[in-house]
Amino acid sequence: MIRSVRLYFRLILLQLRTAMEYRGDFWIAILGALLQQAVGLIFLITFFGVVPSLGGWSVWNVAVLHGMIMTSLGLTEMFTEGAWRLRVDVNSGSFDRVLVRPLRPVLQQLSSMASIHGLGDAGLGVAMLITGLVGSAPVWHWWTVPVLIMAGVSGTVICAAVNLITNLPVFWEPAAQSAFPTMVSRMRDFAKFPLTIYPGPLRIVVMVIPYAFVSYFPALLVLGRGGPERWLGLATPVVAALTVLAAAGLWRIALNRYQGVGH
């Protein structure tokens, strides 16, 4: 296991170094990520310039939610972006190569691509998180920073596992394109705002996927908001582990079904 993890990060580093060889593309990717997320920032500034709060959450509180989601998303793009290549690799036959190499196929697939775009997302996410925490001025406890770190790591794992799960249907319906993975991934945008503003069914969806454990519940705990449900923030590592187990089980089923191109 240790050898596999070490090889995995060496492959990721190789992908990042390859991307950085083209300095122009590197800075364009960083700038593109910042501009893309700037649209969300402009929306927040405009919205809260008209209304003082959203469901009892101030602009600083919502910035914390945004920062948590963006940080986990950026790290996911940097370290596990290969999940989005799965459909192309299966349809082109490139996936056969990962089955004959002396490294776990899932690690090869996840490390097959690393997005520099994620560096901009993660950097801006951390900046928004810090700014939101400073503006919110929550009561700091000895466990606040560990909870934030736990939420960042577990949130990244959740996003990566969800991305893999949503791309696995290619083993059953090998169409050239599918809107399903993108549709599910866009559900994370709902976790950028407090769940209390949504109707009940939508709250359940965001909890089941489960992006709510990437931002909303950990934020409740750190900001000292809500009632007993705030302690669900401590369940984020458990949810991450369950999501990984689900992804691992579906991955094994998918591999058993795979027969190669032309079958």
Q: What digits encode the pLDDT tens for the residues 206-243?
A: 999 899 999 999 999 999 887 888 888 899 999 999 99
Looking at residue 260, its pLDDT comes to 67
pLDDT at 262: 54
Q: Which of 146-150, 162-166, 186-190 is the least confident region?
A: 186-190
Chain-centroid distance, C-alpha 133:
21
**For residue range 66-81, what is the model confidence (pLDDT) as tens digits?**
999 999 998 998 888 8
Q: 143, 193 in Cβ contact below 8 A?
A: no
In a domain, 39, yes or no: yes
Percentage of residues in the chain having pLDDT higher than 70: 93
Could you tell me if residue 263 is inside a domain? no
What pTM did the predictor assign?
A: 0.88
Question: What is the per-residue pLDDT for 211?
Answer: 93
How many domains are contained in the chain? 1
User: According to the model, what pLDDT value does residue 33 have?
Assistant: 66
Q: Select from 134, 7, 139, 148 the least CA-distant residue to 71.
A: 148
**pLDDT, tens only, 1-51:** 677 777 777 777 777 777 667 777 667 766 776 777 677 777 777 877 788
The range of the structural domain enclosing residue 197 comes to 2-257
Q: What local confidence, expressed as pLDDT, does residue 175 receive?
A: 73
Could you tell me which of 59, 35, 110 has the C-alpha nearest to residue 80? 110
Is 167 within the bounds of a domain?
yes
Cis previous bond, 210, omega within 30: yes
Q: Please give the pLDDT value at position 51.
A: 81
122 within a domain of the structure (yes/no): yes
User: Collapsing DSSP states into helix, strand and coil, what is residue 198?
Assistant: coil
Tell me, yes or no, whether 118 lies in a domain.
Answer: yes
pLDDT number for residue 219: 93
Q: Is residue 25 part of a domain?
A: yes
- Inside any domain, residue 129: yes
Q: For the chain, state the CA radius of gyration.
A: 19
Q: Is residue 221 part of a domain?
A: yes
